[in-house]
Amino acid sequence: MFAKNVDMNQQNGCGKCPACNEWNTFFEQKLDDKSVKNKKEGKDVSSISLKNVEYKEISRLSTGFGELDRVLGGGLVDGSLILIGGEPGIGKSTLILQICDKIKTQKTVLYVSGEESAEQIKLRADRLKIDKNNIMFFGETDIDLIESEIEKQNPELVIIDSIQTIYSDKVDSMPGSTSQLREITSRIMRMCKEKNVTTIIIGHVTKDGNIAGPRVLEHMVDVVLYLEGERYLSYRVLRGVKNRFGSTNEIGMFEMEGEGMKEILNPSEVLISEGDENPAGSVIVSTMEGTRPLLVELQALTTNTLFGFPRRTANGIDFNRLTLLMAVIEKRAGINLSNQDAYLNVVGGIRINEPGIDLGIILSVCSSYKNKSIPNDIVVIGEVGLTRRS
C-alpha cells in the first residue's frame, strides 16, 4: 500500500487504512536509500577505472571427465553457478554423482536432492561403484534449510537436484513455477558468490524447450549445459549453451552404460556405422563442434509416395534444411522428388547445425534415389546455396 493514496491524519502522522477504514493503523515507511546507506557505513561507492581493476587468476577444479572439462572451458571455476538441463531420465543425476566421486577435494560435497531418497542415491552410488565418504546427502526442498546446511557443512561443491523441486515459503506459487525458480536461483546465486562455493543446479527440460522451465534461469547462472540424446540410444551429448569462463561451442560425448556415463574420446568411431562398404544413401560428412572436427554418417532413404502427398522426416538436422535442399536437387539437378518420400537420419543420435553438411545431405538423398553407393573413404564437405552462378 502506498501512503499517497491515504487520507493522512495530520496530528499524529498516522493514516486511514483503505482496507479496514480504521484510523491510525496506517503508517508511512520510507524505503532505505541504498546509496545513502552505503555512504553512511563508510563503503566506497564510487566508480573505478577499468584500467585499475585487478583480478585473481581463475582457479579451476577438474571434474575427472576430460569431455566435461573441455565443455566447461577447462574445469569447474571456483564459486561458479552451473545449470545442467536435460530431459527427465537422460542421465543428469548419474553424471553429477560421478563428478562428486571424481573431483579431488579435501572438503565435502553436499548433494541436495528433492527427488530421491538417501537410499535411492546410495543404491545408485553402489551401482556406479562410488565409495567415497566425503559425499554428504541432504534430502530437503526448503531453501532456508538448504542454506543453513550449506553454512554448516562449508562444502567444496553443492549439487541441487533438481531446481524444480526446491521452494521458498516467501513465494506463494508452487515449486517449479517461474517465480519460485527465479527466487530460488537468485538465493543460490547470492550464496554461491558470497561463500565462493561452486554450485551445480540440475533442471529438467522437455524436448520442446519448455519456456517455463530452467530456460528462464539461463541469464542468472554462469554456465548453462544441456545433456541431449535419444532415450533409446546410449549416446549422450553435453552441449555448452552459455559460458562466462569459456567458449560455448564445445560438445562432450558420453555413453550411458550399466555402470554410469563413460566418456567417448573419439566420437567419430561411434558416429560411423561399421562395414566394408557404404550402402546406398549413406554418406560421411564432417562437422566442426567447437575446437574438434567430427566425422558423422548421414543416412537417407527415398521411397515412392503412396498417398499423394510426399512425406519428409529429418532426425538430427533441421527439417526445413532438408526440404530446402531437396528443392535445390529438383531445380538444379533436374531430379523429380515430388513423388518420393524422404527420410534422413544422423547416426548416433546427435544433432548437427553445421552448414558444411549441405552437400552431404544432397548426396545421401541422391544416392538413395539412384541406388548408387558412395565409397566410405570419401568425406563430403560443402555448403549449398539456392542460386546458380554462371
CB atoms within 10 A of CB 242: 13
How far, in Å, CA of 191 to CA of 183, rounded?
Answer: 12
Stretch that binds ligand TYD, among 3-11, 91-99, 264-272, 340-348 (CB under 6 A): 91-99
Tell the smallest beta-carbon distance from residue 101 to ligand TYD (Å).
Answer: 12
Nearest to 97 by CA among 338, 304, 260: 260
Residue 22's binding partner, choosing from ligand TYD, Mg ion, none, with beta-carbon cut-off 5 to 8 A by kind?
Answer: none
How far, in Å, CA of 387 to CA of 365, rounded?
Answer: 19
Stretch that binds ligand TYD, among 17-25, 87-95, 334-342, 357-365 (CB under 6 A): 87-95
86 binds ligand TYD (CB under 6 A): yes
How far, in Å, CA of 45 to CA of 59, rounded?
Answer: 28
**49 cis-preceded (ω within 30 degrees of 0):** no
Please, which residues bridge with residue 343 across strands? 301, 313
CA distance to 13, 365, 381, per residue, from 275 (Å): 89, 20, 22
Residue 272's binding partner, choosing from Mg ion, ligand TYD, none, with beta-carbon cut-off 5 to 8 A by kind?
Answer: none
127 binds ligand TYD (CB under 6 A): yes
- Site string (255-274) toward ligand TYD, x via CB under 6 A: -x-xxx--------------
Residue 168's binding partner, choosing from Mg ion, ligand TYD, none, with beta-carbon cut-off 5 to 8 A by kind?
Answer: none
Kindly list the residues in this chain that would bind Mg ion in the complex (CB under 5 A): 93
Tell the smallest beta-carbon distance from residue 243 to ligand TYD (Å).
Answer: 21
Is the CB of 7 or the CB of 259 nearer to ligand TYD? Answer: 259
Classify residue 293 as exposed, middle or buried by CB count within 10 Å of its CB (0-12, 13-18, 19+). Answer: middle
Write out the E strands in 145-229: 157-161, 198-204, 223-228
Which of 13, 66, 89, 382 touches ligand TYD (CB under 6 A)? 89
Tell the smallest beta-carbon distance from residue 256 to ligand TYD (Å).
Answer: 5
Tell the smallest beta-carbon distance from residue 121 to ligand TYD (Å).
Answer: 10
Q: By CB under 6 A, name the binding residues for ligand TYD.
A: 86, 88-94, 124, 127-128, 256, 258-260
